Amino acid sequence: MKTKLFILICICAVTASCTTTVQTQKQNKIAQAIKKEGDVFQVQGNYTAALNKLLEAEKMAPDDPYIQNSLGLAYMGKERDDMAIKAFDKALSIKPDYTEAMNNLGAAYLRDEKFDTAIKTFNKVLEDITYPTPHYPLANIGWAQLAQNNYAVAQKYFFKALREVPGFIPAIHGLAQLYMQTGQTDRAVAYLEKHIKRAPETTIFHKDLAQAYEACGKTRQAIKAWQVTKQLAPEHSSLYYKAEQRLLELQ
C-alpha cells in the first residue's frame, strides 16, 4: 500500500511539473510576441507605447535578458538613463555574455555623463572579438574622451571606428566636432564638405557644417547650411528646432 501511495505521489509530482513547464513555455511565447510589438514601437520612435508593451512582457517573463535589453532602450528613448542602466545591468546579470546589452549599458553611462565608467564598459565590449559591430564602442569611447577634452585619444578612437566602417556617421560627426573644438575650423569645413558630397542626405553633417561656417564668420554659407538642415530634419525634432532658431538669429 505504501509503495502504491509513493508511486501515486511521484506521478502527481511529475504531472504537476509538466503542467508548470507547459504553462511557462506558453507564457514565454506570449511574452516574446508582446516584446516584438514593443520593439516595433521603438523603431517608430514611440517610446511610451514601447515601454508599456515591454513592461507587460516583463511581467510574464521577468528573467528574460532580451526583454530587459529592450526595456533599457525604451528607457533611454524616454531619457531615463538611470532606469536604462538598471535594465541593462539586469540583462547582464541573467546573461553575462550578452555583449549587445553591455554596449547599450556603456551608451547609457555615456549619456548619463559617467564617462570613465562608460569607457570601461565599452572596453569590455571590445574584449569580445566576435562582436560584429566594434565601430560602435570605438566611436563611443571617442565621444567619452572628447567630452573630457582628451582630444588626441578621442581622435585615435574615431579613426579606429572609421577603419572598421569608413562611412560611419557618429565617428565622422565626432571628428568634425573635435576639429571645431580645437580651433581647426577650416579643416572641419573641408572634412564635412567632402563627406556631404558622399552622403548628401545626412542631416547631422549639414548641421556640423553650419556650425563650422559660423565659427569661420561665413554667415551666408552658414544660413544655407542651416536651411538644408531644417529641410532634412524630421519636423519637431531637436535638430529641426535648432536649425529654426539659428536661422531666426542669423537672418
Long-range contacts, 234-242 (Cβ 8 Å, 24+): 239/203, 239/204, 239/207, 242/207
> Alpha carbon 79 to chain centroid distance?
12
Any domain includes 160: no
Tens digits of residue pLDDT in 77-105: 999 999 999 999 999 999 999 999 999 99
Q: CA 170 to CA 142: how far, in whole Å?
A: 10
Report residue 21's pLDDT band, with 50, 70 and 90 as the boundaries. Answer: low
CB atoms within 10 A of CB 141: 28
At 134 the pLDDT is 97
Cell numbers of 162, please?
572609421
Long-range contacts, 216-220 (Cβ 8 Å, 24+): 216/185, 216/186, 216/189, 219/250
Report residue 9's pLDDT band, with 50, 70 and 90 as the boundaries. Answer: low
Report residue 236's pLDDT band, with 50, 70 and 90 as the boundaries. Answer: confident
Tens digits of residue pLDDT in 115-142: 999 999 999 999 999 999 999 999 999 9
Q: CA 193 to CA 208: how far, in whole Å?
A: 10
Q: CA 130 to CA 161: how far, in whole Å?
A: 16
Any domain includes 146: no
Any domain includes 36: yes
Any domain includes 2: no
Provide the 3-class DSSP secondary structure of residue 32.
helix
Any domain includes 173: no
Any domain includes 91: yes
Any domain includes 152: no
Tell me the residue range of the domain where 96 lies. 24-127
Kindly report the CATH number assigned to the domain that includes residue 91. 1.25.40.10
Any domain includes 226: no
Cell numbers of 32, please?
516574446
How many folded domains does the chain comprise? 1
- The answer to whether 104 and 69 are in contact (CB under 8 A) is yes
Per-chain mean pLDDT for the chain: 92
| Cα-based angle 139, 140, 145 (whole degrees, multiple of 5) | 100
Tens digits of residue pLDDT in 154-192: 999 999 999 999 999 999 999 999 999 999 999 999 999
The type of residue at 160 is K
pTM: 0.85
